């Protein structure tokens, strides 16, 4: 039964393609509703990680409670749940959407629909959300709102004629967005008297409160003192505090059906309060948990090693700390002959990987080496055993392999039609299987391909960007596994195999890949005291070779007078440079070399 109270609640997310102005709009909504005064507000309040602000992306979802006073005096509670825009963080989007009744779809008035507009919008539609389209950036000279509205209607198939035309940057027509939220998005319709059912859509760790569960209450009520049960783990806790996001934590006496807020209950470990789990009352448990959404599955794996082997413990601690707030990050210890002790880490995608890498370096001040990303291969051994391989080094001998399967994705690429030929050529080159294509308008087309994921983690993004001058957008979802002809490509430095540089590659491109890898390594490995042969081999057969010549001269001929500071500065700089190097056998390999081999074309 819907209470009168719930009529005045709206729970929604904002979805958009990257850079279409989602976070700026969120800021304006906070400002307009007086949730934060301009003075209190740093730009893009909701992106509260440094990295997020720097890169202009949202990684973690962030909720905020807004109070909107309509002109007629009615007062509405808006719970805005910000979402990430990037494909890597789809699972974050879907968990945010599960807590909402609707989504504001922001589309850039000059760029129109892009790949992530579609992907995120379809996610929302799949979750039965009401969609309220908004046309942003109409202040730009290149804005073409009428055409973009038509695109939305044609391609997505939703009514968009009365979509607010706004500029989040200048604040133009922001009130129209608030109105459209009231009108287009349904209020919640939970039963306050029923047993408690609250969906955990996110969590974070607070050193004072312990785990803070971000919840959407579907039915029932919860307050401090309530004995709650997490339906998935069956664990029981006493609620210590409930509250709402303003956007900082603000304790309240009770959360009721329709509300978005947080619960703390002295939970020590984020893993005990799994995102997607349902919170219910221990005394009067709900019969069925809420439908959870699919958990995040790591798709890309790479090894992370401390440059200074002695800092292994610190790296472990850093990963553990990051994991507290990032359930999608997986890691387990592994050992490399070349790199020593480290961790095989699972990520949602390349961006996620880069972000974790950067956070480890910045927030924990650790120098690390990341090995080439790999995907999960399925290997059917001749013995009949099926194994999964995330680290190329662990691939069995060719004689033990019956066949191998690799993950493939369905990729959607939206590109200006002038680059269509080039995009299709690229997809073919990357072993893609054409599915279909459709013109969004006369000059833009969406083309769908099946592509092996390992081609995407290799250099697909960069290649697509360069072929389309950055105009194409791209999104993908995992589709399944297919058999493929794959081989392990090994790299030898000075005759010694460097396990951390091994890659699994398609047989047909293996020798070209090997050649290019040798060339790349030659570029990145500085000359040392001796000659360094670089070889690529497949099944112990050398297929390519390069040589880094020995260093012939690195000497300061003259020390000026008593000024030894210059000499010392030079030597200290050299020593710093050495820190970025990893001793592999007798060869010093700079950190960049491990990543550079990826950027091949």
The reply to whether 552 sits near other proteins by the rule CB under 8 A is yes
Residues 250 to 289 in contact with other proteins, rule: CB under 8 A: none
C-alpha span between 92 and 591 (Å, rounded): 31
We find the least distance from the C-beta atom of residue 535 to other proteins, in angstroms, to be: 22
**Considering only 85-93, 246-254, 364-372, 562-570, which stretch makes contact with other proteins by CB under 8 A?**
562-570
Interface with other proteins includes 38 (CB under 8 A)? no
If one counts every other C-beta atom within 10 angstroms of the C-beta of residue 38, the result is: 8
How far is Cα 53 from Cα 135, in angstroms, rounded to an integer?
23
Task: Check residue 469 and give left, alpha or beta (phi > 0: left; psi -120 to 50: alpha).
Answer: left
Compute the least distance from the CB of residue 556 to other proteins, in Å.
Answer: 6
Q: Number of residues in contact with other proteins, rule: CB under 8 A?
A: 26
Pairing relation of β-strands 227-230 and 235-238? antiparallel
CB of 336 to other proteins, least distance (A): 22
Tokens 């440059």, residue located: 307
Paired with 546 in beta bridges are 534
Q: What is the CA radius of gyration of the chain?
A: 27
Residue 562 is a binding residue for other proteins (CB under 8 A)? yes
Separation in Å, CA 385 to CA 23, 120, 196, 398: 49, 39, 46, 14
284/567 with CB nearer other proteins: 567
Subset of residues 374 to 413 that bind other proteins, contact rule: CB under 8 A = none
Whole-Å CA distances, 322 to 30, 84, 177, 466? 28, 18, 35, 33
**How far is it, in rounded angstroms, from Cα 272 to Cα 503?**
36
* Least Cβ distance, residue 562 to other proteins (angstroms): 4
**Stretch 564-583 residues interacting with other proteins (CB under 8 A):** 564-565, 567-568, 570-572, 574-575, 578
Nearer to other proteins, 227 or 549 (CB): 549
- Residues 484-543 contacting other proteins, CB under 8 A: 528-530
Q: What span, in angstroms and rounded, lies between the C-alpha atoms of 148 and 109?
A: 6
**Candidate ranges 6-14, 379-387, 494-502, 548-556; the one touching other proteins (CB under 8 A):** 548-556
Figure out which of the listed residues 43, 71, 397, 554 binds other proteins, where binding follows CB under 8 A. 554
Q: What are phi and psi of 512, to 5 degrees?
A: -65, -45
559, 585, 589, 599: which one binds other proteins (CB under 8 A): 559
Q: Which is nearer to other proteins, 403 or 560 (CB)?
A: 560
User: Rounded to the nearest whole angstrom, what is the least distance from the CB of residue 519 to other proteins in the complex?
Assistant: 21
Smallest gap, in angstroms, from Cβ of residue 149 to other proteins? Answer: 54
Q: Does 547 bind other proteins (CB under 8 A)?
A: no
Q: Are 475 and 527 in contact (CB under 8 A)?
A: no
Minimum distance from residue 584 beta carbon to other proteins (Å): 15
CA distance 54 to 303: 26
Residue 598 tokens, joined: 């990826």
Binding site for other proteins (CB under 8 A): 528-530, 551-565, 567-568, 570-572, 574-575, 578
């Amino acid at each position: 039964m819907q209470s009168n109270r719930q009529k005045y609640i709206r729970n929604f997310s904002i979805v958009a393609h990257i850079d279409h102005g989602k976070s700026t709009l969120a800021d304006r909504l906070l400002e307009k509703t007086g949730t934060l005064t301009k003075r209190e507000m740093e730009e893009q309040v909701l992106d509260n990680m440094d990295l997020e602000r720097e890169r202009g992306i949202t990684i973690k979802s962030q909720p905020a409670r807004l109070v909107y006073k309509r002109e007629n005096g009615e007062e509405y509670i808006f719970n805005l749940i910000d979402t990430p825009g990037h494909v890597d963080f789809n699972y974050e989007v879907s968990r945010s959407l599960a807590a909402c009744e609707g989504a504001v779809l922001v589309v850039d008035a000059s760029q129109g629909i892009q790949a992530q507009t579609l992907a995120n919008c379809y996610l929302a539609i799949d979750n039965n959300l009401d969609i309220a389209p908004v046309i942003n950036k109409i202040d730009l000279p290149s804005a073409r709102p009428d055409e973009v509205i038509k695109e939305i209607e044609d391609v997505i198939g939703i009514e968009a004629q009365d979509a607010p035309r706004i500029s989040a940057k200048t604040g133009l027509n922001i009130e129209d967005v608030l109105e459209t939220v009231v009108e287009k998005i349904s209020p919640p319709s939970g039963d306050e008297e029923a047993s408690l059912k609250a969906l955990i859509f996110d969590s974070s760790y607070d050193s004072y409160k312990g785990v803070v569960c971000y919840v959407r209450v579907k039915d029932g009520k919860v307050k401090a003192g309530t004995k709650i049960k997490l339906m998935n783990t069956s664990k029981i806790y006493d609620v210590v505090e409930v509250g709402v996001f303003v956007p900082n934590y603000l304790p309240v006496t009770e959360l009721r059906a329709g509300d978005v807020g947080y619960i703390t209950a002295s939970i020590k470990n984020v893993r005990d309060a799994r995102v997607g789990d349902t919170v219910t009352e221990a005394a009067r448990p709900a019969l069925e948990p809420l439908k959870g959404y699919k958990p995040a599955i790591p798709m890309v794996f790479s090894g992370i090693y401390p440059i200074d082997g002695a800092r292994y413990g610190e790296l472990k601690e850093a990963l553990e700390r990051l994991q507290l707030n990032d359930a999608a990050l997986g890691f387990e210890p592994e050992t490399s002959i070349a790199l020593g002790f480290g961790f095989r880490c699972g990520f949602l995608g390349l961006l996620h990987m880069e972000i974790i890498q950067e956070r480890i370096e910045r927030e924990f001040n650790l120098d690390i080496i990341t090995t080439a990303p790999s995907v999960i291969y399925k290997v059917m051994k001749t013995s009949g055993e099926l194994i999964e391989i995330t680290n190329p080094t662990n691939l069995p001998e060719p004689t033990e392999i019956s066949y191998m399967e690799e993950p493939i994705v369905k990729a959607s690429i939206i590109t200006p039609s002038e680059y269509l030929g080039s995009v299709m050529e690229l997809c073919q080159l990357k072993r893609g299987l054409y599915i279909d294509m459709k013109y969004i308008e006369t000059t833009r087309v969406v083309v769908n391909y099946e592509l092996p994921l390992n081609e995407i983690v290799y250099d697909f993004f960069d290649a697509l960007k360069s072929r389309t001058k950055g105009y194409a957008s791209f999104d993908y979802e995992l589709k399944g596994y297919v058999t493929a002809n794959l081989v392990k490509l090994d790299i030898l430095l000075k005759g010694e195999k460097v396990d951390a540089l091994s890659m699994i590659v398609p047989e047909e491109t293996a020798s070209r890949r090997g050649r290019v890898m040798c060339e790349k390594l030659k570029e990145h490995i500085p000359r040392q005291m001796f000659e360094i042969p670089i070889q690529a081999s497949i099944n112990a057969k050398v297929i390519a070779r390069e040589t880094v010549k020995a260093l012939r001269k690195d000497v300061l001929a003259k020390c000026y007078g008593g000024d030894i500071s210059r000499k010392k500065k030079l030597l200290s700089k050299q020593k710093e440079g050495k820190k970025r190097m990893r001793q592999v056998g007798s060869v010093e390999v700079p950190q960049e070399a491990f990543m550079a081999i990826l950027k091949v074309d």
